[in-house]
Amino acid sequence: MTTIRSVVLGCGSYLPQQILTNAELAARVDTSDEWIVQRTGIRQRHIAADGEFTSHLAINAARAALADAGIDAQAIDLIVLATSTPDNTFPATAVAVQNGLGITHGAAFDLQAVCSGFVFALATADNFLRTGAFKRALVIGAETFSRILDWNDRGTCVLFGDGAGALVVEAQEQPGKLSDRGILTSHLRSDGRHKAKLYVDGGPSSTQQVGHLRMEGREVFKHAVGMITDVIVDAFKASGTTAEDIDWFIPHQANKRIIDASAHKLHIAPQKVVLTVDMHGNTSAASIPLAISVAVKDRRVKKGDLVLLEAMGGGFTWGSVLLRW
């Protein structure tokens, strides 16, 4: 029996030109390169220029993904943009991307699940494509987290960066087996009891101001490994796979220690883990598609590879996607 799968046709990414190193940060706040690298694995991050918005990053990543897929923007009928740093309170930044690409048909909307945003967006697009509502989607993660950081808070300002990544996915008929290309299973979770551990202290309804990111780092770390492994175990059960079957593990790039601990707990070999946190920092919803793009460009990820994605973000939200490239 055949089935409809959301198959990846291409990927793309965009990083702002400005790079902010740990040494440069150490000149601003009481920290050091050694301290940041030891605790997070981060060495540098990219920062959007003045006048460079989340939509600009997203448009550039989308164009790169379309070029990689070899299709015209007019073939896209759905855009799902994961972001916590939209250009405006409304309209959705996705419609700015749609307009920037010259698309006037189909639907475009934003999705907010913080660092889990790309996993949530990919799962959402997959459900739309499998029902036949749309044929081809641009799934984008784009952030300008530098705009919501308190640059005097050394516990958070060293962690985050700006960037965007995108996938082009298409509904295709597949044999209905584990060997199918495309998204095989996705698992999403949230638990609002943990809001105070990672949030932004502002918003249109509450303070009428943007606010700054606030985080209880130890609490986030404590919950992260357990939550991440929870949805990955669900993915293994749903697909009948194990850690040994995975070709590549591409997690949200928040902290190298969390990634290492998660991979160890799941018995995923270190050589299967894609790490970009050292180059990009935590780019929230953009981190997974940025990491995918790096691994595809350097030819680690190849057609037919089984790829496991996972993320955890404020809320808390967390989720996994298992797909065959």
Tell me which residues are annotated as active site: 115, 252, 282
Burial 77-104 (b: 16+ CB within 10 A, else e): bbbbbbbbbbbeeeebbbbbbbebbebe
**The residue type at 253:** Q
How far apart, in whole angstroms, are the C-alpha atoms of residue 94 and residue 73? 14
First to last CA, the chain: 21
Tokens for 25, please give them.
């940060």
* Paired residues of 190 in beta bridges: 317
Q: What would you measure as the largest C-alpha separation in the chain, in angstroms?
A: 62
**φ/ψ (deg, to 5) at 291:** -65, -40
Eight-state DSSP code of residue 48: P
Query: What is the enclosing helix (H) or strand (E) of 19?
Result: strand 18-21
